[in-house]
Structure 1
Amino acid sequence: MAVNVPGLVAVLVFYVVILAIGIWAARKSKKVEKTCAGTKSEVTIVGGRNINVLVGVFTMTATWVGGGYIMGTAEAVYSPSQGLIWAMGPPAYLINFLLGGLFFAKPMRSKRYVTMLDPFQHRYGNMFTATLLLPALVSDILWVACILAALGGTMSIILGLSSALSIIISAAVSITYTFLGGLYSVAYTDIIQLCFIFVSLWLCIPFLILSPAVAEISHTVHLNQTIGNSWIGELKLADAGKWSDEMLLLALGGLAYQALYQRILSAASSAQAQVTCFAAAGTVFIMGIPSVVIGAVAASADWNQTAYGLPPPFERGEAGKILPLALHYLTPTWLSVLGIGSVAAAVMSSMDSVLLSSASMFTQNIYKATFRKQASERELQGVIRASVLLVGLAGTGLAFGDDSVFALWMVSGDLLYCVVFPQLICVLHLSSANSYGAITGYVVGLLLRGLSGEPLLGIPPVILYPGWREVDGVITQYFPFRTVAMLSSVICIISVSWLVKLGFCHQKIPQSWDLLGVFEEKKEAVGEEVPVPREEKNSILNTKF
């Protein structure tokens, strides 16, 4: 395929504009550092806690509206085995932000935490916090791979550009401005990127619907003319477990992303943080509508009337690229270039946030708290930048595959949903949770998720839940196994914490068995020594870092 030179020039101009805005925001960040009461690293991570509501809504929405969201949603609607009912992104993210505003924004922002891992560090100490960073880091790297793979596939179709080259250029731009400006660069570039995504995708919709190769989507609700299926989709009783599991994964797993709390913690107050979440719930849903329409249009198209020809994309194994294919073959060339710009904007708006979130957690909760407690601000800035670079390179390296964007999108949140989300609920809303319960819950959640297998990563299941199916030698679980792992983790944290506290406080367990130092002797008025939770005192474990 020949390179689309005008389109390539247009995309490069867009990249230069984004990079310029990122550099300008980096300079603004330097000015804020001089006037802000917080440290330089705090300005980089949470923007000095003075990001206003409007900017906060833009950057929060842009973070979730990534390549996985817009391409994964279109893929789900188009695929004959799924359909609209399986396009869970818009409703799941709506629920995610509403729950975030109701139950998580206030307890996190009111205590002036800097990262999502701070409450764990204050209650459980450094060692356990380091173990929580691992699933968060793996999830972020997979998310970067997902959104870059989405962009590579789009550019290769519309611009005729090498997928690998597209991935490298886009990653380089995102890494550069995130490296330079931290949250300020991320937030201000997100505004431009989100506006561009909104305008370009909605502009494509009339041209797609009016294309001569597309039947009216209202006529193909019940029958897809090219693949003999409905783009609405069907939810069979046998598939209900899998559907509910994936819906809960997206709706609740998103509450365990540092990228979410980075925006919550950057707000000027708890009330502003909540308003930002509620407003983002509406905007993120609206941003998913064009992808739904594009998927329905692609399912209603007669591909034999286009230059693409037959067989249709699904039969060629290209359902994951259906959004760029629809833009390329069903709209004018100039409009398809706008479409690629929207995907590029979506990718960078998510990638920069993911890079900064991983770098923030490692620097604040691992490097500063464990390795270099006396590290200077300049040193911490250097660690943040090095972390941004390393996470970006790791995610970029995994993006050179042909896996489904939708599948990568789902897997990226698996560990957070099964392992980190239960911990976050308990540390914020269960005062009795202690290290023994947290460790047990962590191990149980991780073990149950790992033993359930993962086809995308080639991990066979050891536990076969009811309703499992085997197709072409690959076993797929149709039972809500992720939710089982998550709930099991929550139950273990609560029950083990309660039993251990009961044992020590009533002296049923010898004090010498408190290997983690969670409990300590306290002299009562009657002179009796009774073990009490260490968090009830101003202990070393509860010292704020």
Structure 2
Amino acid sequence: MNTSVPEVTFGPGALAVLGGYLVVMLGLGLLGRLKQKERSLRDFYLGGSTFGFAVLFLTLFATQYSGNTLLGFAGRSYVQGATYIVSVTFMVLVITVFMIYAPRLFRLARRFGYITPTDFVYHRFGSHALRVLCVVLLCWGLANYVLEQLVAMGHGVEAISGGRMSFMQGVLLLVGVMLIYESLGGMRAVAWTDAVQGSLLLCGCAVILYTLVTADGGLAAASERIRATAPERLEPPDARGLRTWVSTLLMLGLGVALYPHAIQRIFAAKGEKSLRRSLAAMGFMPLGTTLLAFLIGFIALSRFPGLSQLESDKVTIYVLGGLIDRSPVMYWLIVMVFAAVVAAIMSTADSALLSIGSMFTKDIYKSYFRREASAREMLIVGKTFAWGIMAILILMAWVSLETESSIWVLIELKLEFMVQLSPVFMLGVYWRRMPASAVLTGMVLGTLLTLVIWCGAAFDVWATRSPWGVGAGVWGLLLNYGICVGWTVLRPAKLPATVPA
């Protein structure tokens, strides 16, 4: 049975809130431009490395919790049911991984002046091939990441406009605003807008959480409705399900902690104390965001059983849409929540796009095509490249809508390849005798194994891209780590690497 979903009609008030929010974002972009102290790569891409605790925490929060969380994770919770409560541990592991490598990487960045993640890679290992491969994998992950946000943008604006704007019109509107304020102010504008967006997101999450646990009998009533319509969604996982849990935990925990735009926020911290305090505060955020996404999907399963794969990405919209007519106060609260959803989506997309531009400009264009390029030329090239990538991704967002690709599939496609960078950072910042040849070989073979498993499943050579319940990327990662560790133990680097003891 497919219970009909509510038709979400927000009215002109919601459009006014959205319009006002976008105007504020443009204003912050202009202010960021005026506050630039110099036209340098460090100022544009890292905000001059001046972010204190408050701004750093809010920009990390707004960037980390995006359309993936509020739409993609909620949709996955709808599909899997009660077992997806494990998703909270995914994001807890992300912060744990950050705490392991981020403080040491920050000290290296401050000492040697890193701007992009691959500045560290080349300085640490001295390998051109490894640097280029890292840029390719990171840009692949970020391009998929931005694509996820574009899909979420379209769904969000379509909902908040009550259907007055189509999916693609919503994408084009938000992308246009985002590109303007990002091009004007760079990282400083992005971080300031993230601070506003993060504040909205925190307030929005609190409102949704309170509403979900109090409305319509709360979680107890939702569990009873699910037991009547889909009792299998309340069952504990079997052995294969447990392996999938562990596999997803590794994929998300290690992969998300390697997002280039998150690493660049490590470089942008004012000091190590600000960084550690921000990461410590981030450790509590899964309880108010990832847990919330799980609850949204769980409540949606109890109210709207039988949704299609594409519809499952909209369960946040459906759940909140069923609350807007309860009172004028609830109407405006839900409008603000949707503004928070849009804020989270934009904050992630703008950060990822800025990071793509910085890596292409500094690690590819200047290093291999125009060594004499000035800072002004590199900024122009970076902005132009980012705009071009965005145009391609807008087209791909339309294709994903037509093919009904879910946000979760895009998440897997991104992380299962990007997680192959884990040994570079997790081992590279500490293990001075690990040679570039070990890292490069492990990364190449791990990526190839992941690609083979994905392609085999896509062309029906085998039935699944998760053999034995373990994701393709995790199989590749195990091979990757095995090569890195085994090679280093048997044939350690003859000379100490450039990373200081």
TM-score range, shorter chain: 0.7 to 0.9
Shift of 1:323: 0.3
Shift of 1:498: 5.0
Residues 34-88 of structure 1 show CA distances to partners (whole Å, capped at 9, x for unaligned) of xxxxx71111122211111111011011101101111122223322xx1243255
Are residue 369 (structure 1) and residue 367 (structure 2) matched?
yes
Structure 2 equivalent of residue 506 of structure 1 = none
Would the aligned equivalents of 1:48 and 1:266 in 2 still touch at CA under 8 Å?
Answer: yes
Query: Matched residues in 1 for 2:233 and 2:217: separation?
Result: 13
Are residue 482 (structure 1) and residue 483 (structure 2) matched?
no
Would the aligned equivalents of 2:206 and 2:288 in 1 still touch at CA under 8 Å?
Answer: no
Instruction: Specify which of 157, 175, 179 is matched with residue 175 of structure 1.
Output: 179
Structure 1 equivalent of residue 68 of structure 2 = 68
Are residue 383 (structure 1) and residue 351 (structure 2) matched?
no
Shift of 1:174: 1.5
Letter in 2 for 1:479: G
Would the aligned equivalents of 1:76 and 1:84 in 2 still touch at CA under 8 Å?
Answer: no
Q: What is the correspondence of 1:312-351 to structure 2 with a 5 Å cutoff?
A: 312=305, 314=307, 318-332=311-325, 333-351=331-349
Instruction: Determine helix, strand or coil for the equivalent of 1:56.
Output: helix
Would the aligned equivalents of 1:216 and 1:300 in 2 still touch at CA under 8 Å?
Answer: no
Residues 242-301 of structure 1 show CA distances to partners (whole Å, capped at 9, x for unaligned) of 221111111111222111211111112233323322222223542334333322322333
Are residue 295 (structure 1) and residue 293 (structure 2) matched?
no
| Identical-pair percentage | 22
Unmatched runs of 5 consecutive residues or more in structure 2: 1-6, 326-330
Query: Matched residues in 1 for 2:247 and 2:196: separation?
Result: 34
Letter in 2 for 1:290: L
Would the aligned equivalents of 2:446 and 2:476 in 1 still touch at CA under 8 Å?
Answer: yes
Query: Matched residues in 1 for 2:492 and 2:379: separation?
Result: 41
Query: Matched residues in 2 for 1:205 and 1:282: separation?
Result: 15
Letter in 2 for 1:428: V
Query: Matched residues in 2 for 1:226 and 1:154: separation?
Result: 31
Structure 2 equivalent of residue 427 of structure 1 = 428
Select between 479-488 and 490-499 the one with higher mean Cα deviation.
490-499
Q: What is the correspondence of 1:461-540 to structure 2 with a 5 Å cutoff?
A: 470=463, 477-480=467-470, 481-500=472-491, 532-533=494-495
- 1:10 and 1:454, CA in 2 relative to 1: closer, same or farther beyond 3 A? farther
- 1:88 and 1:348, CA in 2 relative to 1: closer, same or farther beyond 3 A? farther
Select between 283-292 and 237-246 the one with higher mean Cα deviation.
283-292
Query: Matched residues in 1 for 2:245 and 2:370: separation?
Result: 45
Instruction: Specify which of 27, 32, 35 is matched with residue 34 of structure 2.
Output: 27
Query: Matched residues in 1 for 2:167 and 2:77: separation?
Result: 24
Would the aligned equivalents of 1:423 and 1:490 in 2 still touch at CA under 8 Å?
Answer: no
Aligned pair count reads: 476
Query: Matched residues in 1 for 2:302 and 2:44: separation?
Result: 47
Query: Matched residues in 2 for 1:207 and 1:269: separation?
Result: 38
Query: Matched residues in 2 for 1:230 and 1:17: separation?
Result: 46
Instruction: Specify which of 13, 16, 24 is matched with residue 20 of structure 2.
Output: 13
Query: Matched residues in 1 for 2:151 and 2:86: separation?
Result: 20
Residues 116-156 of structure 1 show CA distances to partners (whole Å, capped at 9, x for unaligned) of 11122122333320121111111111111112212212332
The structure with the largest alpha-carbon Rg is 1
Instruction: Specify which of 258, 261, 264 is matched with residue 262 of structure 1.
Output: 264
Select between 350-359 and 365-374 the one with higher mean Cα deviation.
365-374
Structure 1 equivalent of residue 437 of structure 2 = 436
Query: Matched residues in 1 for 2:428 and 2:310: separation?
Result: 44
Are residue 163 (structure 1) and residue 171 (structure 2) matched?
no
Shift of 1:405: 1.6
Instruction: Determine helix, strand or coil for the equivalent of 1:427.
Output: coil
- 1:432 and 1:372, CA in 2 relative to 1: closer, same or farther beyond 3 A? same
- 1:280 and 1:475, CA in 2 relative to 1: closer, same or farther beyond 3 A? closer
TM-score of the pair, normalised by structure 1: 0.80
Structure 1 equivalent of residue 390 of structure 2 = 392
Which structure has the highest helix share of the two?
2
Shift of 1:215: 4.3
Unmatched runs of 5 consecutive residues or more in structure 1: 34-38, 304-311, 465-469, 503-531
Q: What is the correspondence of 1:129-140 to structure 2 with a 5 Å cutoff?
A: 129-140=131-142
Letter in 2 for 1:492: I
Select between 182-191 and 315-324 the one with higher mean Cα deviation.
315-324
Query: Matched residues in 2 for 1:244 and 1:254: separation?
Result: 15
Letter in 1 for 2:149: I
Would the aligned equivalents of 1:71 and 1:291 in 2 still touch at CA under 8 Å?
Answer: yes
Instruction: Specify which of 119, 126, 129 is matched with residue 128 of structure 2.
Output: 126
Query: Matched residues in 1 for 2:474 and 2:71: separation?
Result: 25
Shift of 1:476: 5.0
Instruction: Determine helix, strand or coil for the equivalent of 1:99.
Output: helix
Structure 2 equivalent of residue 102 of structure 1 = 100
Structure 2 equivalent of residue 449 of structure 1 = 450
Instruction: Determine helix, strand or coil for the equivalent of 1:114.
Output: coil
- 1:209 and 1:97, CA in 2 relative to 1: closer, same or farther beyond 3 A? closer
Query: Matched residues in 2 for 1:385 and 1:168: separation?
Result: 18
Query: Matched residues in 1 for 2:310 and 2:52: separation?
Result: 44
Shift of 1:103: 2.7
Structure 1 equivalent of residue 4 of structure 2 = none
Structure 2 equivalent of residue 356 of structure 1 = 354
What is the CA RMSD across the aligned residues, in angstroms?
Answer: 2.7
Structure 2 equivalent of residue 527 of structure 1 = none
Structure 1 equivalent of residue 44 of structure 2 = 44
Shift of 1:17: 1.4
Spell out structure 1 runs of 4+ moving beyond 6 A. Answer: none
Q: Which has the higher contact order (CA 8 A, sep 6+)?
A: 2
